[in-house]
C-alpha cells in the first residue's frame, strides 16, 4: 500500500519514480465516425467494423500492449441536426450516428485483457438510477474493478426528444438533478452492503449476512427510492468518475465528483489557467487537488521520420470530410453555418457570438479577418476542429512533455484518426520514447483501475462525497487497510 503525502505526485503504476507519469486513454466511440470525420473511408481504417466483437477485442489488445490506462468511449443519444436544419449531413457522413451502446463492448474486451480500464459514457438525464447503478456494478465485477463512468448530464435537444422530454431541462436545474442523482447512486454503491456482508459460507448455508445489508431510503427533489442495491460490493464499488464540464456550474460539479477531468484543448497557456482553476475548485470542494487527474484531448499523427509523418498526415487528409466537421461545430454552437454565404462574415449576437469567435481563433482561421464558412472549413483539419501533432515519436514526446510541464495536466485522451493505426503507432513508436524519458510506466500496477491511477486503494479518496457514505468499518473488513 503506497502512502501518499498531500501535494506529492503519485506513481501508482510501474517503476516511474520521478516526475509525473503520463496517463493515456484511447478516445473512441461505438460508431463509424467520432471526431476526425471522413477517415472511415481510408483503406486501412477499420471503423466500419464497429459491430464486430473481434474488432474491439483486437483494439483492446493493442491498447494493453501500449500500457494505455484506459479506453474511453464517448456516447451521444441524439443526432446533430443544426447544420442545414436537419440530420442529413450527420447521416451521410456517419457523424456519431449510427451509434451503439458503449457499455456492451466492455465485457467482450475485458475477456481478452487484464489491466486496461474502460470508461463508458452514460447520460444521467436518461438512465434510471437504480438499474444504472446495477449495470455499473455488474461491469465492475466482470472487469475485476476496471470500470469508469464518464458522467454526462445532457447536451442535445434531439436527445431529450428521444427520451420523451420535449426539450432539455434548464442548465442549472439539470446540474441540481445531477447532484442528487450522484448522491443516490453513491448510496447504492457504498452504503447498501457492508464490506463483510458476503461470507459465502457453504457449510452454514449463508451467502450474505442480512444484518450487513440495508435498504437505501432516498427521498429528494427528483428521486424517491427505497431499496437495497441489487449487486454485492464490486472491487471499486463506485466506478472511477470522469467528467468534462466546461461551464461554471459544470466545473463545480466536476470539482465535487470527478476523479478524471477532461479539458478542451485550446493552448497550453489557457489550459494552465483552467487547470489551476480546476485544482482550486477541487480543493474548495474539500478534496486534495491531486486526487483529480486532468486530461487534455490530443490527436497525433506519428511517423518513423518527420517526412513519413507528414506524408501520413497528407494521406489521411485526402479522406477528411471538412463539411462534417463544420456540421458538428454547428451542433456544438447552435449556429447553422449553412445560413451564411461561403465568404460572408459570420456575425452572431450574444453568448454564441463569443463562442464562435473564440472557436474560430482556436482554429487559426480568423487571424486576418472575420470568421467565414470558408475559413472554418479550412480550419477543419482531418474532418474536425482538433489540430493533430504531426511528427516523429521524439517530436510528439516533446510536445507532450511541454504540455505536462506548462499546463499541469496529467495526461491525454488520444483521439482516433485512422484506426487502429493511430493507436498502434502510439503503442509501438511513442510509448518507448516516453518510457526512455521516464514519463511513462513500464508495466501495469496491481489492483483496480482506481488503484493504478491514484495508488490509494480501490475506493474513492477521503474528501470525495462517495467516501463519506461508507458504512463504519467493522474489524473484520478486508478493505480496511486500504484506507488512509
Residue 443 touching its own copies (CB under 8 A): no
**Burial level of 221, CB count in 10 A (0-12/13-18/19+)?**
exposed
CA dist., res. 260 & res. 366, Å (int):
32
CA dist., res. 450 & res. 469, Å (int):
18
Helices (H) and strands (E) in the chain, counts: 16, 14
Residue 77 touching its own copies (CB under 8 A): yes
Distance of CA 174 to the CA centre of its chain: 20
Residue 191 touching its own copies (CB under 8 A): no
Nearer Cβ to its own copies, position 133 or 251? 133
Q: Cβ distance 300 to 429 under 8 Å?
A: no
CA dist., res. 99 & res. 113, Å (int):
24
3-class secondary-structure state, position 198? strand
Nearer Cβ to its own copies, position 113 or 456? 113
Cis peptide before 420 (omega within 30 of 0): yes
Nearest residue to 404 via CA among 17, 113, 24, 14: 24
Nearer Cβ to its own copies, position 197 or 396? 197
Q: What residues from 57 to 76 belong to the interface with its own copies (CB under 8 A)? A: 57
Nearer Cβ to its own copies, position 80 or 253? 80
Nearer Cβ to its own copies, position 163 or 401? 163
- The 8-class DSSP code of residue 460 comes to P
Cell numbers representing residue 39 in the block: 477517415
Residue 3 touching its own copies (CB under 8 A): no
CA dist., res. 428 & res. 360, Å (int):
35
To the nearest whole angstrom, how small is the minimum distance from the Cβ of residue 246 to its own copies? 24
Which range binds its own copies by CB under 8 A, 4-12, 78-86, 331-339, 458-466?
78-86
What is the residue whose three cell numbers read 509523418? 309
Nearer Cβ to its own copies, position 144 or 277? 144
Nearer Cβ to its own copies, position 36 or 295? 36
Cell numbers representing residue 276 in the block: 489551476
* Candidate residues 2, 15, 44, 88; the one interacting with its own copies per rule CB under 8 A: 88
Nearer Cβ to its own copies, position 301 or 321? 321
To the nearest whole angstrom, how small is the minimum distance from the Cβ of residue 328 to its own copies? 15
Nearest residue to 124 via CA among 165, 188, 182: 182
Q: Cβ distance 263 to 274 under 8 Å?
A: yes
Residue 321 touching its own copies (CB under 8 A): yes
Residue 277 touching its own copies (CB under 8 A): no
Q: Cβ distance 180 to 219 under 8 Å?
A: no
Nearer Cβ to its own copies, position 79 or 400? 79
3-class secondary-structure state, position 294? strand
Which range binds its own copies by CB under 8 A, 120-128, 302-310, 409-417, 451-459?
120-128
Q: What residues from 24 to 43 belong to the interface with its own copies (CB under 8 A)? A: 30, 32-33, 38, 40-41, 43
Q: What residues from 361 to 420 belong to the interface with its own copies (CB under 8 A)? A: none
Which range binds its own copies by CB under 8 A, 80-88, 339-347, 364-372, 423-431?
80-88
Q: What residues from 192 to 221 belong to the interface with its own copies (CB under 8 A)? A: 198, 200, 202-203, 205-210, 213, 215
Residue 167 touching its own copies (CB under 8 A): no
Which range binds its own copies by CB under 8 A, 106-114, 248-256, 373-381, 438-446?
106-114
Residue 94 touching its own copies (CB under 8 A): yes
Q: What residues from 124 to 143 belong to the interface with its own copies (CB under 8 A)? A: 126-128, 130-131, 134-135, 137-139, 141-142
- The 8-class DSSP code of residue 181 comes to H
CA dist., res. 467 & res. 450, Å (int):
13
Q: How many residues does the chain have?
A: 484
Amino acid at each position: 500500500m503506497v502512502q501518499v503525502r498531500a501535494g506529492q505526485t503519485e506513481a501508482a503504476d510501474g517503476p516511474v519514480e520521478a516526475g509525473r507519469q503520463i496517463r493515456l486513454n484511447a478516445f473512441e466511440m461505438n460508431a463509424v465516425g467520432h471526431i476526425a470525420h471522413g477517415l472511415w473511408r481510408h483503406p486501412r481504417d477499420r471503423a466500419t467494423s464497429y459491430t464486430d466483437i473481434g474488432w474491439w477485442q483486437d483494439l483492446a489488445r493493442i491498447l494493453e500492449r501500449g500500457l494505455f490506462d484506459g479506453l474511453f468511449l464517448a456516447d451521444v443519444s441524439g443526432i446533430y441536426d443544426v447544420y442545414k436544419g436537419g440530420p442529413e449531413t450527420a447521416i451521410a457522413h456517419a457523424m456519431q450516428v449510427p451509434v451503439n451502446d458503449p457499455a456492451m463492448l466492455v465485457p467482450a474486451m475485458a475477456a481478452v485483457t487484464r489491466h486496461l480500464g474502460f470508461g463508458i459514457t452514460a447520460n444521467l438525464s436518461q438512465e434510471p438510477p437504480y438499474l444504472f447503478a446495477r449495470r455499473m456494478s455488474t461491469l465492475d465485477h466482470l472487469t475485476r474493478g476496471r470500470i469508469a463512468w464518464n458522467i454526462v448530464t445532457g447536451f442535445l435537444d434531439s436527445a431529450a426528444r428521444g427520451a420523451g422530454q420535449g426539450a432539455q431541462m434548464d442548465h442549472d436545474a439539470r446540474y441540481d438533478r445531477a447532484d442528487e442523482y450522484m448522491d443516490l447512486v453513491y448510496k447504492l454503491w457504498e452504503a447498501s452492503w457492508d464490506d463483510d456482508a458476503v461470507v459465502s459460507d457453504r457449510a452454514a448455508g449463508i451467502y450474505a449476512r442480512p444484518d450487513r445489508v440495508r435498504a437505501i431510503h432516498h427521498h429528494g427533489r427528483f428521486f424517491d427510492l427505497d431499496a437495497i442495491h441489487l449487486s454485492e460490493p464490486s472491487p471499486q464499488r463506485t466506478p472511477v468518475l470522469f467528467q468534462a464540464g466546461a461551464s461554471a456550474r459544470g466545473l463545480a460539479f466536476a470539482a465535487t465528483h470527478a476523479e478524471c477531468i477532461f479539458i478542451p484543448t485550446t493552448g497550453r497557456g489557457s489550459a494552465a489557467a483552467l487547470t489551476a482553476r480546476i485544482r482550486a475548485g477541487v480543493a474548495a470542494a474539500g478534496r486534495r487537488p491531486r486526487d483529480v487527474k486532468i486530461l487534455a484531448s490530443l490527436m497525433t499523427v506519428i511517423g518513423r521520420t518527420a517526412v513519413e509523418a507528414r506524408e501520413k498526415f497528407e494521406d489521411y487528409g485526402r479522406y477528411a470530410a471538412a463539411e462534417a466537421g463544420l456540421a458538428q461545430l454547428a451542433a456544438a454552437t447552435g449556429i447553422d453555418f449553412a445560413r451564411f454565404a461561403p465568404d460572408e462574415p459570420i456575425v452572431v449576437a450574444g453568448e454564441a457570438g463569443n463562442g464562435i469567435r473564440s472557436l474560430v481563433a482556436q482554429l487559426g482561421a480568423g487571424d486576418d479577418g472575420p470568421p467565414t464558412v470558408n475559413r472554418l472549413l479550412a480550419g477543419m483539419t482531418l474532418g474536425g476542429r482538433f489540430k493533430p501533432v504531426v511528427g516523429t515519436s521524439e517530436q510528439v514526446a516533446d510536445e507532450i512533455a511541454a504540455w505536462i510541464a506548462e499546463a499541469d495536466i496529467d495526461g491525454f485522451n488520444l483521439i482516433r484518426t485512422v484506426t487502429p493505426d493511430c493507436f498502434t503507432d502510439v503503442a509501438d513508436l511513442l510509448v518507448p520514447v516516453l518510457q526512455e524519458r521516464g514519463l511513462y510506466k513500464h508495466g501495469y500496477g496491481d489492483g483496480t483501475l482506481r488503484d493504478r491511477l491514484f495508488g490509494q486503494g480501490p475506493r474513492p479518496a477521503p474528501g470525495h462525497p462517495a467516501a463519506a457514505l461508507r458504512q463504519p468499518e467493522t474489524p473484520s473488513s478486508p478493505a480496511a487497510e486500504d484506507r488512509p
